[in-house]
Amino acid sequence: MKDALPPVFRSHRRRTAGFAVGAVAVAALAAVFVTAPSPPFSPSGASGPSSGPSAPRPAEPDAKASESPWIRPAGAPPTVFAHRGASSAAPENTLVADEVARRGGAKWIENDVQPSKDGVPYVLHDPTVDRTTDGTGPIRSLTSAQLDALDAGSWFAPVYAGARVPTLAAQLADLRERGGNLLLEIKGLHSRDEVARIVRDVREQAITRRVLVQSFDVPSLRYAHELAPELPLGLLRATLDADPAALARELGLTAYNVAHTALTDKPDVVGELHAAGVAVNVWTVDTPGRWKAVDDLGVDGIITNRPAELAGWTAGRGAV
Ligand code: G3P
Ligand code: CA
Selected residue with higher pLDDT from 61 and 216:
216
Mean pLDDT confidence for 65-77: 86
**Per-residue pLDDT at 65 exceeds 60:** no
Does any ligand 1 atom lie closer than 6 A to the CB of residue 236? yes
Selected residue with higher pLDDT from 253 and 57:
253
- Nearest residue (CA) to ligand 1, atom 2: 283
Q: Closest ligand 1 atom, CA of 283?
A: 2
pLDDT at 261: 98
pLDDT at 21: 31
pLDDT at 4: 31
Within-domain flag for 183: yes
Within-domain flag for 9: no
Within-domain flag for 3: no
Chain centroid to CA 206: how far? Answer: 18
Residue 190 among the catalytic residues: no
pLDDT at 320: 60
236 C-alpha to center of ligand 1: Å? 8
Query: Position 107: which residue type?
Result: K
112 C-alpha to center of ligand 1: Å? 8
* % of the chain with per-residue pLDDT over 90: 76
111 C-alpha to center of ligand 2: Å? 6
The boundaries of the domain holding residue 109 are 33-319
Within-domain flag for 253: yes
Within-domain flag for 158: yes
Within-domain flag for 14: no
Does any ligand 1 atom lie closer than 6 A to the CB of residue 83? yes
Residue 83 among the catalytic residues: yes
Within-domain flag for 75: yes
Q: Which residues are close to ligand 2, an ion, with C-beta < 5 A? A: 112, 185
Q: Which range, of 30-34, 95-99, 175-179, 252-256, averages the lowest pLDDT? A: 30-34
Catalytic residue (one of 83, 190, 225, 274)? 83
* Total structural domains within the chain: 1
Query: Where residue 294 sits, what CATH number does that domain have?
Result: 3.20.20.190
Within-domain flag for 12: no
2 C-alpha to center of ligand 1: Å? 37
Q: Which range, of 26-30, 140-144, 313-317, averages the lowest pLDDT? A: 26-30
Does any ligand 1 atom lie closer than 6 A to the CB of residue 178? no
